[in-house]
Amino acid sequence: MDLTKLDAREALIAEQAVLSFRESMRAMAAAPHGRGLAVTERAVQEQGRKTTLAMMEQALLAAAEGEKGGAVLRRGVRAASVPD
């Protein structure tokens, strides 16, 4: 993959992925002895949610811009705000 050819949205998502990875590595390095896997797993899950939300937001914004009315964005935001 040629990272220099990413559009603005793709670059934002790629940056979020790298930041998520770095945060997960920091969590692993700081984990108490014997807790590395659990701490790292938690960090990966938390960072993964952030990256997933960023991807959803960018996809919905792109779809809304394509429709010029934003209907997809309104439906998507409502669905994304439903608690687990």
Arithmetic mean of pLDDT, 8-35: 92
Task: Give me the percent of the chain exceeding a pLDDT of 90.
Answer: 40
pLDDT of residue 70: 52
**Most distant CA pair in the chain: distance in Å?**
53
Q: Read off the pLDDT of residues 35-68 as tens digits, 9 standing for 90 and up.
A: 999 999 999 999 999 889 988 998 898 888 777 6
pLDDT of residue 1: 83
